[in-house]
Amino acid sequence: MPDATASILLLGATGQVGHALRRTLAPLGAAYAPDRAAVDLTDPPSVREAVREHEPELVVNAAAYTDVDGAEEEPERAARINAEAPRVLAEAARAVGAWLVHYSTDYVFGGGKRAPYTEADAPSPISVYGRTKRDGEKAIRAVGGRHVILRTSWMYSRRRSNFVRTMLGLARENDRLAVVDDQIGVPTWAGWCAEATASVCERLLAGDDMPEAGCYHLAGTGQTSWYGLARAIFAQFDRLDVTVEPVSSDEYDTAAPRPAYTVLDSSRARAAFDLPGVPWTAQLARFRKRMRAAGGEHVARG
C-alpha cells in the first residue's frame, strides 16, 4: 500500500461519488478538492491551471453533467463538461505524469443487447448525455497517457437527485406509485463505488503489478428494473404500505430516450484490481444501514 502522502486532485467533490471519495481517498494522500468557483470545467484554462499548479500524482474526475433530460436542452454545455473537459484533464494530467481516473456511464450503450455489456462492446448511445460521455471517453483515449475510465450505472446516495431519493420522497405523499419495468440495469451505491475506486487508485499509486490503462466497468452483480429497484427500496426502508405498479417506458414522456438494457459486466475490473463482486441488493442494504447509523431516514438535500 502506498504511504498516505500522494497528491490527489479530486474534481466533483460535492457530487454523489465525489463526496464519498473524500473519505475513501483520505488514506492514500492529501486531496485538493476545489469547488466549481475554483475550477470551472467549462473553462479549459481553469482546468489546466489547477493541474499545473498542484502537480498531482492522481487526478480523479467525479464531475459531470448528469441531467439526462437536461442535456437534450443544453447539448453544448453537456459537451463542454462531459467531452471537452475530460480531454483537457487528460492533456494536463499527461503533462505532469499523473494518473487520470475518470467516470463514465452505462448510457454510452444503446440497450440493444440482452446480455451484460463488456468493455469490448462498441458504444452506441441514443441520447445527448450518452453521446457526450462517449465522446469524453474517446477524447481521453486519444490523448493517451496513464488513465483509467470507470463506467458505472444507476448511481444513488443521500445526495443530489437520484432514483432512491425520488422514491422515498414520493412515498411520503403517495401510497401507490407507477414505475417503469422495461429498463434493466445495475443500481450502484455511491459509497460502494467510492470504496472500489479507492482500491483502484491504491493499485495505480503503488506502481507495482500495474493493471493496464483503459476502460473498466464498475458496478455490482445482478440486475433489475426501475420497478424492481423501487420494490427493493420500500422493502429495505420498511415501507410495505406503498404499492408499486409496473408500467412501460411508453407511458412516460421524457426529453431523452432511455436504453432498455444497460447491465454492465464488471468481471474485468474485479480481476484487474482484485475487487469483490458485490450484489446490488447488498449495496442497497449497506446504504440503508449507513443511513440508520447516521441518525435517521431522511436523505440529505443538495
Q: Cell 442494504 belongs to which residue? A: 285
Question: Distances in Å between the alpha carbon of 123 and those of 8, 103, 186, 262, 267?
Answer: 30, 15, 17, 11, 18
State the cell numbers at 230. Answer: 423501487
Q: What is the DSSP string of 115-156?
A: S-B-TTSPP---SHHHHHHHHHHHHHHHH-SSEEEEEE-SEE
Task: Describe the chain by its helix, strand, coil percentages, rounded to 5.
Answer: 45, 20, 40
Strands 58-61 and 147-152: unpaired
Q: Which of 265, 122, 271, 147 is nearest to 209 (CA)?
A: 271
Q: Cell 448511481 belongs to which residue? A: 155
- The torsion angles phi and psi of 158, rounded to 5 degrees, stand at -80, -10
Q: Which of 53, 59, 50 is nearest to 31 (CA)?
A: 59
Contact between 95 and 51 under an 8 Å Cβ cutoff? The reply is yes
Instruction: Find the distance separating the first CA and the last CA of the chain, reported in whole Å.
Output: 34
Active site residue ranges: 129
Radius of gyration, alpha carbons of the chain: 19
